[in-house]
Structure 1
Amino acid sequence: MSAAPQTTRPAPTPAPAAPSATVRRGTRHPALVVVAILLTAASLRPLLTAVGPLTTDIQHATGLPGSVVGLLTTIPLAVFALASSQVNRLARRHGIEAVLVGGMLVLTAGGLLRWLPGAVPLFAGTTLLAFGLVVGNVLLPGIVRRDFPHRVGAMTSLYTTVMSVGAGVAAGAAVPLAHDAGLGWRGTLNVWVVVAVLALVAWLPLMRERHVPDASAAARPRRLWTSPLAWQVTVFFGLHSMLFYVCSAWLPSMLGARGLSPATAGTLGAAYMIAGAVASLVVPVVANRRPDQRMVVAVIVAGELVGALGVLVAGGPLLVASVTLLGLAGGAGFALSFLLFAVRAGDGQTAAQLSGMAQGVGYALSATGPLLFGLLHDALGGWTGPIVGLVVIPLVVATVGFGAARAAHV
């Protein structure tokens, strides 16, 4: 009996520019590609993170219960889980740039639909724009790996930081824009569509290039689903995505149970997101300097574990430091996940396919997090048990993270 084929191979050091999975004909415009990537990244979070601070306004305007309004956040995660693995089929057929243009069009249409009165356009528009968001989520790592093979770390730092900053700015500005600026909750939710329109304009001239599909590309998704390394990257991303959405939904309530005032708990919740953005700027650059990122994973896991333990038992300044450390480590893990999509792949097409697999499964995993932690709170009658759950997540991350970070390619 012959030996089973290996699913990974050692990564070269230093990694040469990998061949693209498509033959590109035309002239690339690196500066325009960078602008298009950053505008796309800036459009991927605000239309979602602006919802949370406006939940009460939406309830009063629509008469819907909070559980139904909460679907405005849950629906996009479900779409991400269902559609992520399909985006690359469109990209192989039509080209990455063309699909990104289509994604920004769908995102814009969904945002405009939410401007119409009534609950049905609100939920239909949210569902539609989620399909546009998933296109950018999946394809940006492939674009970076294909067009910037020697600057993967720097480009990943830039666009993941823009994603994090966009999320924080949209959440922090939601109430002032709605109340003080007079935009109302509908205008505030959808003002960020302007960024998607700008991204669309940036991708249009890049779409003119012709792409000849690589005949071997169609077989790669099947191989990815049988690769232990691909699954390790997938679970690593899913757990960090779960940690982000659990903390976004419940961290202020957890801190309130520790005796903090609602205002202070809300401020620390914002500090968690800001710390994550800072980590996103630094970690991919540092991690990309070596083909093996296991030391970075060790630091991330230690930071998450200490931060979660601090949220459980610390008080005063130590509690503030613990929340900040948890945000730094969680943001670092999230940013490292996107770097791994690129550096664990041998070319841009494989990076996009790995991104699609990891985000499809990962967002399905992360979507369960806020629900499970809420159910755990209800079952135990308090937040101590769920905070212990925050301690457990880094321990699980460690079981897959060191495999995902080893110097190998899927």
Structure 2
Amino acid sequence: MQTVRATARPAIWLILAVVLVALNLRPSMAAIGPLLTGIRSDIPLSFSLAALLTMLPVMAMGLAMFFGMRISHHLGEHRTVVLSLIIIGLATASRLFLDSAAELILSAVLAGIGIALIQALLPALIKSRFSDNVSLFMGLYVTSIMAGAAIAASFAPLVMVRTGNWRIGLAIWAALAVVALLFWYAQRSAIAPQARPTVNNPAFAGNPRAWLLAIFFGLGTASYTCVLAWLAPYYVEKGWSEQNAGLLLGFLTAMEVISGLLAPALANRSRDKRLVLMVLLGLIVAGFCGLILSPESLSLLWPCLLGLGIGGLFPMSLIVSLDHLDHPQRAGGLTAFVQGIGYLIAGVSPLIAGMIRDQLGSFEWAWWALTAVVLVMMVMVLRFDPRHYARHID
């Protein structure tokens, strides 16, 4: 009994460290939307230019994904996360001193690079350390990412109101990086390198299934990035205060947290994840349609549906990718490729939505476009039959 407890204790501390690290992967982006009115009153920004604050870090995340596993191989898992948290913390804290759009965008890009290095590494770490419950722990990891977004979106406007300074509302989240850094460093013995057999790990760029998974992940994440960037401004334009619009975005991300825990737990009962994916995509379609047709009368229902759909879709997309391969190293390489391409696709979506808003004067057409994208994803889900995974990637 004592041996079991001794073994379980390091695992508990390790997953707690992963949770604290994951909390840092969205506040640098999630705090911007609710504060956008305050930022634009101080720094001239069109909606298209403001979209770069979400687009460029997501694009940086995509590009850095291709180097993340290689950097992790050279530095080790522990040092890579330490370096990444330092980058995120410094980029976020620097926003206290920003005076131009270019500086704000640069801070967002640097934070995106730090985020990407962590996101390239942690799925493989989870698959190797928690191989018996990958879906459960991936759900906990992704839920923590969503929780970080919920906290930032909900409280950044409050910080701005209390301090009278939007820069503090953006920069205060560097404190999360400090806490995670101290805790992660304390777990360095638990994150010691594991002996792994050398395996052939070819590039996935020539594999059609890898591209299908990447496109699916990218299209799903496009909904997340657009909602993250534009839901709060959408409601501010309808007369809501920044604080209430931020709380609405925080409510949506809270629903993402709930779904991020429940969907993988339910899906863990079967290797075939298609039914769960279809339900999640249906929730997103319903949420976007309601956001367009009746945004005011049922203003909590539509973010609830969107949050439940998007929150579950994000971890499920990664879990389906991990399910294609048994070896943690190769599965990690596949998820890094999927996220790399996927974030490049998703990064463009806030810019397109911002351009639509500048040209047509409304976000509704962007929501319609995302609805059509999700319907296409429903067709793609039919291809994810686990009986044929080995045929596509072996």
> TM-score, normalization: structure 1?
0.81
Q: How far 1:171 sits from its partner (Å)? A: 1.1
2:290 is aligned to 310
Contact 2:154–2:249 (CA under 8 A) maintained in structure 1 = no
54 and 253 in structure 1: CA distance in 2 versus 1, 3 angstrom threshold: closer
1:238-297 superposed Cα distances (whole Å, 9 cap, x missing partner): 11110112223334566688xx64357666544433322221120011112211101112
Match of 2:328 among 333, 348, 354: 348
Of 266-275 and 192-201, more deviation after overlay is shown by 266-275
Match of 1:367 among 329, 343, 347: 347
Find the residue that maps to 1:115 and give its secondary structure.
helix
**Is the aligned partner of 1:280 residue 2:260?**
yes
Give the CA RMSD over aligned residues.
Answer: 2.9
* Aligned-partner Cα distance in 2 for 1:378–1:188: 26
2:89 is aligned to 108
* Aligned-partner Cα distance in 1 for 2:164–2:125: 35
Contact 1:308–1:391 (CA under 8 A) maintained in structure 2 = yes
* Aligned-partner Cα distance in 2 for 1:315–1:113: 36
Contact 1:279–1:328 (CA under 8 A) maintained in structure 2 = yes
* Aligned-partner Cα distance in 2 for 1:343–1:179: 46
Match of 1:137 among 110, 119, 143: 119
**Is the aligned partner of 1:215 residue 2:193?**
no
* Aligned-partner Cα distance in 1 for 2:188–2:96: 29
Find the residue that maps to 2:383 and give its secondary structure.
helix
2:165 is aligned to 184
1:334 is aligned to 314
1:356-405 superposed Cα distances (whole Å, 9 cap, x missing partner): 11111111111111222333445555555333213202211113223246
Contact 1:297–1:402 (CA under 8 A) maintained in structure 2 = no
* Aligned-partner Cα distance in 2 for 1:266–1:323: 12
Aligned length: 377
Unpaired segments ≥5 residues, structure 2 = 1-7
Contact 2:65–2:336 (CA under 8 A) maintained in structure 1 = yes
Match of 2:281 among 301, 312, 335: 301
Match of 1:394 among 369, 374, 385: 374
* Aligned-partner Cα distance in 2 for 1:64–1:380: 20
1:357 is aligned to 337
- Partner amino acid, structure 2, of 1:286: L
2:219 is aligned to 239
174 and 253 in structure 1: CA distance in 2 versus 1, 3 angstrom threshold: closer
Contact 2:55–2:350 (CA under 8 A) maintained in structure 1 = no
* Aligned-partner Cα distance in 1 for 2:145–2:129: 20
- Partner amino acid, structure 2, of 1:247: V
Contact 2:257–2:311 (CA under 8 A) maintained in structure 1 = yes
Q: How far 1:148 sits from its partner (Å)? A: 0.5
Q: How far 1:184 sits from its partner (Å)? A: 3.0
Find the residue that maps to 1:390 and give its secondary structure.
helix
- Partner amino acid, structure 2, of 1:40: V
Match of 1:170 among 138, 152, 157: 152
Of 246-255 and 125-134, more deviation after overlay is shown by 246-255
1:262 is aligned to 240
Q: How far 1:79 sits from its partner (Å)? A: 0.7
Q: How far 1:202 sits from its partner (Å)? A: 3.1
**Is the aligned partner of 1:71 residue 2:52?**
yes
* Aligned-partner Cα distance in 2 for 1:213–1:401: 33
- Partner amino acid, structure 2, of 1:86: F
Contact 1:235–1:400 (CA under 8 A) maintained in structure 2 = no
- Partner amino acid, structure 1, of 2:301: A
- Partner amino acid, structure 2, of 1:281: L
Q: How far 1:339 sits from its partner (Å)? A: 2.3
* Aligned-partner Cα distance in 2 for 1:378–1:59: 15
> TM-score, normalization: structure 2?
0.84
Contact 1:114–1:126 (CA under 8 A) maintained in structure 2 = no
- Partner amino acid, structure 1, of 2:23: A
**Is the aligned partner of 1:228 residue 2:211?**
no
Q: Which structure is higher in helix share?
A: 2
Q: How far 1:234 sits from its partner (Å)? A: 1.3
